[in-house]
Amino acid sequence: MSTAITGGGKAAVLGSPVDHSLSPVLHNAGYEAAGLDGWSYERIECDAEQLPSIVSGAGEDYRGFSVTMPGKFAALQFADTVTERAQAIGSANTLVRESSKWRADNTDCEGIAGALDELVGKQSRIGHALVIGGGGTARPALWSLAERGAEKVTVLNRSDRSAELLPLLQGIETDFVDFERDLEPLAMSVDLIVSTVPSAALAGRVKELGHAPLLDVIYNPWPTPLATRAASNGHLTVGGLVMLACQSYSQFEQFTGVKAPRVQMRDALFRHVGWDTPPGVVRRER
């Protein structure tokens, strides 16, 4: 963690659309809990083409930006320096000011890792994981599973992206399948499922897939049809709000130089959406 930044500062989430973003809830709750009176966090509407000019033109009081779609690839390309994990994942959700330069990082992998910890436990072995999707969110999911030491990963996607995704899974037994196959035997054979696709992409296939503990990165609306099916079959489910909270902690620390008050940030997020589940407890949707 860097040295705490004195005198206050600003941060913001960049995206389009961005009005729905819950990142301000997390970060502003963190500032309050940590006693950072001079800090504020806002939303800024920004597409990929606008990102370079918005970040370059930001006043020196802006210490960092969270980046959501569609700007994650543009953020990586814009940055002066890039962390090793952001380079490996191929996108950035975090831009941090370092003097007159910007450093790109990807904390989405920490969001996935934190959600996996709640789903299966921090020390639990992951044998065979099924990842649904091959897009931008699938990449940090695959990176996190590799870091966690998963023994086998199967990627379920409509198009073959094996060439671009295999580098994230070096040394891991990997299989790529499409939606043409019978998915129920596959779902019943894995230790967990990570779904990185919109619910509409799984229309008509939910019954086949709901047979394993599930991390579904969607948080609105929640529960997703897949989460409901998995829970009805007795499996634990974790939604995208847990991932959102867990990816925000490192961002907070990189922006401010102060340890993130994790419990208070997560409590604020859950209260905002009307959840009463205490931190550390995985929701079982029924």
Instruction: Give the residue numbers annotated as catalytic, written as ranges.
Output: 72
3-state secondary structure 84-122: HHHHHHCCCCEEEEECCEEEEECCHHHHHHHHHHHHHCC
- Gap between the Cα atoms of 44 and 10, Å rounded: 12
Those residues whose C-beta lies under 8 Å from the C-beta of residue 204, and which sit 6 or more positions away, are none
Write out the two tokens for 143: 């990176």
Query: Is residue 47 within 8 Å of 57, Cβ to Cβ?
Result: no
Between CA 195 and CA 130 the distance in angstroms is 8
Task: Name the pairing type of β-strands 94-98 and 62-67.
Answer: antiparallel
Residue with tokens 């370092």: 98
* Alpha helices, H only, 149-257: 162-165, 183-189, 206-209, 225-232, 240-256
